[in-house]
Structures are given as C-alpha cells and as structure tokens.
Amino acid sequence: MHHQLATAFVATGNRVLFVENTGARGPRRGDMGRIRERIINWLRSTRGFTEIQPGLTVFSPLFLPFPYSNIAGWINRVILSMSMRKWMSVARFHDPIVLTFLPTPLAQALIHDTDPILVIYYCANDMAGSSPAMGKLRPWEDLLFRRADLVIAISEAIRERASVFAKHVHVFPAGVDFAKFAKAREHAPVPDDLASLEHPIVGYVGALSGVMDQDLMVRLATHMPSVTFALVGPRYADVSRLDACSNIKLFGARPHDEIPTYIKGFDVALIPYVVNQFTDSVYSCKLNEYLAMGVPVVATNMREIRRFIEEHGAVVEIGHNATDFIDKVRGALDESRGAKQQMRITVAKRNGWDQRFVEISQVIEQHLTEKLTKREDWRERLIVFYKRRRRHWVRRLGLLVAGYLLVSHTPLVWFAGDQLAVRHTPKVADAIVVFSGDGESSYINQSYQRRTLDAIHYYKSGYAPLIVLSSGKDQTFSEVEIIRSLLIDRGVPDRAIKILEKYPRSTFENVSFVKETLAERRAKSILLITSPYHSRRALWVWRKAMPELVVLAPAVVDTPKASPQWSASVDQIRVICYEYLAISYYWYKGWL
C-alpha cells in the first residue's frame, strides 16, 4: 500500500520523498537482518537518499531504534530533520503534503520540522492493539488523530476510533493492482513448485504471524488429509505445528510480482485469521487479490469481511467456527470454478487501486483547497516562523545551560573521574615503577615534578629498593633524566634508579617495555606511580600483560579527594573524557 501510493502520486505528476520505516517498537533478536539491510542501503545511497525513478526519492535513515526514549528521540530528530531539510533545500522541495502511516513520536517530530502544508495520517491497521509491546503507541496515535488535517482509515472499526479525536476521517480500504492480476490470470503459468503438488490445493498468501489461526489450520489439515494446503509468506511466528502436518506445505516469502501466479494455482484461497479486536479492524489486502484471480475465498468471521459481503454480495464464504469453516472449504472445493468466477473478478475490479487512488486524490485536493483558502497570509506566517525560531533557540540555550550546570556544578565529573582514580593501600614491593609524560591531570607535561615527589616519598618510606623510570615524551632534555637528577638530589642513590631508554607511544608499549626490565630482575610486585586519572587504565593493562605480577596503584600527591566535589575545571573534564575514550580504544584493541 505504501509503495502503491508513492508510485501513484509520481505517476500523476507529483514529486515524492519516501521515508522508510523509522520503527514503532524496540529492537528484537530477529531484527538483525533488517538492520543490516538498512545499513547497506545507507552505504549505497547519498547520505541515505536514493532516486528510484524521476520524481521518487527514497530516504533510508540510520537511527537509534528506541522509539519511546526521550534521549534517543532527540538525537534521531536532530540528525534526521537536518538531513531531510538539507535534501528539501537542495531539491527545491517545499510546502510538502505529508502522508504518514506511522504515528510515533519521531514521525510526528519530523512532520513538524518539515513545515507541511497538509498532514494526512493513513491508519492502515490498529498498530497499538497488535501486541502488548505496541501499547505505548496508543496515546501518540490519538495525538496524531487530533493533529492531522485528514485521517484515512482502512476499515470501519478504525474510522470509529479515529472519529473520537479527528474532524475529518474517510474510509479507503486497500485496493488491488487489477491490471497486474488480470494479466497473470490470463497468461502467466503457475510456478513449478506449486504446480508439482497434487490437487485440490487450498492456499493462503500472507505473513505466518500471530494473527493466523494455527489451531484452525491444523484442524483443517487433519480433517481434509487428501487436500494440499499451500502457505506462501514469511515466517514471523513459530510454525512447527504447521510444518509437522504432512499435507501443509510452507513456501516462505515470495516477491509480490509472483503472488498472482501462486494464487492462480489455488483451488480455494483462505483468510484464516484469529477473530479478535485487532483483526476486526483489519481489511485484508489479500481479499481483493484472491478475487481478482477468480478463486473461491473462505474467511473467518471478521467484521470487515461481513461488511464487504454486505456491500458487494456473497463473493466470500464465512466460517463462523472451526466446524463451519471446514464445511465451507469443502463446499468451495465442490463448486464449479466458473460458477461465481466472473462475479468475483467484477467485484475485484470495482476495488481496483486505480479507482481507489482517484477517490483518495479527490479528498486530498478538497482538503488542500480548504487549507490554502484558510491559510494565513505571509505576514502571519513570518510571525509564526520567528516565534518558532525563538522557541527553538530558547530550548537550545536552556539545554546548554542545563548541561553546563550539570557538568560544572554537580558531582557528576567528580564521580566519573573517581571511577578512574585508584587508591590502593601501599605495601612493600620489589620496585617502584614511575610512568611520566602524557596522562597528568592538566596534560601540560609538568607532572614529572609531582611523580618525582611520589617516588621519593615511597622509596624513603621503605616500600621498594628500586625505582624504574619511564616516559612517553622524547624531549630535548630527557624527562627521565630530569627526574633522575631530582631523585639523586633528594638522596636517592643512583644504583637504585633504572631508566627505560625507549620512548613508548602508548601505555600498552610502556608496560611492554618495563615488563622486560622487571622480568630480568624477577620482580613479583610493584608500586605503580602515575597520574591519578590514568591509574585505572594502566592497572588494567598491567593485569592483562603480566597477570602473575602484583600491581598496586597507591594514591599520589594530586589524587582527587574521595569525598564528592561539586565543581570541575575544563582540564579535568577534558582528561576524564580522554581517559574513557582511551579505555574504549584499548578494550577494542584487546589491551585490557
């Protein structure tokens, strides 16, 4: 239906931007195929946009699949709105008519941001009632019913619900591409995999999902063992019970262009849905497709099927319960194919998509004319524009201020940094290892002075007989040589100092180089002296590289207080963010 509308609008001289589904529920385990396909489509496109044919552009956006998360929704809205507005500007696409099948918060936000001249909600099914997981959609759908200029309902049940909120509601059931089905009926052969089955064949086309009454299908197959049941469609539910029936054949999904040829091979076609509140609001798209092929149809007792018979006559048989359903299928098999065939085809033709689209277009034109007549002049529109812009910038400024206060005047930064700082109780060890260079709290490369004081303190306190110096900075005056001179000046003997001559480019290399020295001296434990926010990452690298080595990272002179701090400097924020990014990178590289 989505594709029929888009191509029909293009065929009548309109330009169409078709935005692919942005999701109405959270991700599930079986969605990986869809996610992979969306990513591939985006990579093959121009920033997500692909011209399918002149006048028809498809936008395949990448987005965070959490439709009811405020944070994810805000991020998605910013990125998608920016992309769509940029395309609209470049393509000179303005004052659009927006027609949406999706009432989610993101869809409504994007509608608002495109500043449409007319908003149409095409309610193709009761999405909110389809499952408990979709229940969150109900208030958003009610809101869209109110906001939309026009609501198109696919069934009478949906019209009744929409009319509670919406002023303008019209019912337009799904139509059939009659020409395509007529051509297949007259000329196309039945597919080999279906033609090879024994007749009679009772068939179904559609998703094998929760709406299919599997109990009914199993009972039908059991009571009619000489009949072959052909089910054509993708599997969205556990169908092991159906698969276990020897006379039920599962064909899986088939391209829609092949569907008419499969229906042509059916002796009877089925709509075996569970009857409940959700399916009572469903107008089955396959109904007119079956009729267009002249095939007898048996359906369960759904509201829209009853309404269809009242409007078009007895071209469909209804099974009021399982026993009656089986009897109706038997009766349809006994019917001569030509008896009611032409009546079914005639009814399908009256429900052809071409006629349906003409009726939809007339309603849209009517509401568009009324909207343009009532629309404010340019002065009022300009005032509204600046009001919106003012609200937009006020919101942005508010977010910036809130972000600034949250970061600089709450313990948030302290808490994030406190997870990085290690404060082990020092114990006697074989060596004191000093990591200097990048990693100090300010990144000005003056931390060697503080690391010198730390090394002197722990050496003179008797915690280790050896100090190993390593620096990631290769400067004109070697940093480790400066530290060495300061240590000797403060009374540390030269024989107790070991300098690493290599200059590592990362903490990982630093650990790898020092590891050799420690192995030569058969060290079993060390005190690690490094910048406080760097201690957690360095400790994890040591544990990965030398799990047998006992590594303690005691507090140093600039270790932040353990009690919450309610302010933060830009340097603290910068180094803490850097450390978290570095930890992520090291985890990706397998160094932690």
Give the span between the Cα atoms of 445 and 473, in whole angstroms: 9
Give the span between the Cα atoms of 268 and 333, in whole angstroms: 7
Q: For strands 56-59 and 49-53, give the pairing.
A: antiparallel
- 455 and 488 inside one domain: yes
Domain presence at residue 372: no
- 450 and 532 inside one domain: yes
Please answer whether residues 161 and 123 qualify as being in contact, where contact means their C-beta atoms are separated by less than 8 angstroms.
no
Give the span between the Cα atoms of 275 and 590, in whole angstroms: 54
State which of 156, 171, 186 marks the end of a domain. Answer: 171
DSSP letter at 169? E
Total count of domains within the chain: 4
Please answer whether residues 70 and 36 qualify as being in contact, where contact means their C-beta atoms are separated by less than 8 angstroms.
no
Q: What is the pLDDT of residues 505-561, one digit of tens each?
A: 889 988 998 998 898 889 999 999 999 999 999 999 999 999 999 999 999 999 999
- 331 and 397 inside one domain: no
The residue type at 299: A
Domain presence at residue 366: no
For the chain, what's the residue count? 592
Please answer whether residues 502 and 528 qualify as being in contact, where contact means their C-beta atoms are separated by less than 8 angstroms.
no
The residues, ordered by sequence, that sit 6+ positions from 302 with a Cβ below 8 Å of its Cβ are 271, 273, 275, 279, 280, 282, 284
Nearest to 140 by CA among 104, 170, 111, 94: 104
How far is C-alpha 435 from the chain's CA centre?
A: 44
Give the span between the Cα atoms of 510 and 504, in whole angstroms: 5
- 285 and 433 inside one domain: no
- 192 and 151 inside one domain: no
Give the span between the Cα atoms of 83 and 75, in whole angstroms: 12
Domain presence at residue 368: no
What helix, strand, coil percent values describe the chain, rounded to 5?
50, 15, 35
Please answer whether residues 392 and 507 qualify as being in contact, where contact means their C-beta atoms are separated by less than 8 angstroms.
no
- 454 and 582 inside one domain: yes
Nearest to 80 by CA among 52, 49, 53, 101: 49
Domain presence at residue 362: no
Domain presence at residue 356: no
Return the half-sphere exposure (C-beta side, CA atoms, 13 A cut-off) of residue 264. 19
Give the span between the Cα atoms of 302 and 282, in whole angstroms: 8
CATH (domain of 478):
3.40.50.620
Nearest to 30 by CA among 248, 322, 234, 231: 234
Domain presence at residue 48: yes
Q: Which residue range forms the structural domain that includes residue 386?
A: 378-408
- 157 and 34 inside one domain: yes
- 404 and 424 inside one domain: no
Q: DSSP letters of 217-269?
A: HHHHHHH-TTSEEEEES-B-S--HHHHTSTTEEEEE---GGGHHHHHHT-SEE
Give the number of other Cβ atoms within 10 Å of residue 525's Cβ.
15
Please answer whether residues 24 and 102 qualify as being in contact, where contact means their C-beta atoms are separated by less than 8 angstroms.
yes
Nearest to 73 by CA among 40, 113, 33: 113
- 157 and 196 inside one domain: no
Give the span between the Cα atoms of 333 and 296, in whole angstroms: 8
- 453 and 396 inside one domain: no
3-state DSSP assignment of residue 319: strand
- 528 and 544 inside one domain: yes
Domain presence at residue 364: no
- 218 and 292 inside one domain: yes
Question: Would you write out the chain's pLDDT as a tens digit for each of its 592 residues?
Answer: 888 899 999 999 999 999 998 888 777 766 777 788 888 888 888 989 999 999 999 999 999 888 888 889 999 999 999 999 999 999 999 889 999 999 999 999 999 999 899 999 999 888 777 666 677 889 999 999 999 999 999 999 999 999 999 999 999 998 899 999 999 999 999 999 999 999 999 999 999 988 999 999 999 999 999 999 999 999 988 999 999 999 999 999 999 899 999 999 999 999 999 999 888 888 888 999 999 999 999 999 999 999 999 999 999 999 999 999 999 999 999 876 666 899 999 999 999 999 899 999 999 999 998 888 776 567 777 787 788 788 878 888 888 898 888 888 889 999 999 999 999 999 999 999 999 765 443 444 457 788 899 999 999 999 999 999 987 655 545 778 888 899 999 999 999 999 887 778 889 988 998 998 898 889 999 999 999 999 999 999 999 999 999 999 999 999 999 999 888 888 888 899 999 999 999 998 999 9
106: exposed, middle or buried (C-beta count within 10 Å: 0-12, 13-18, 19+)? Answer: buried
Domain presence at residue 544: yes
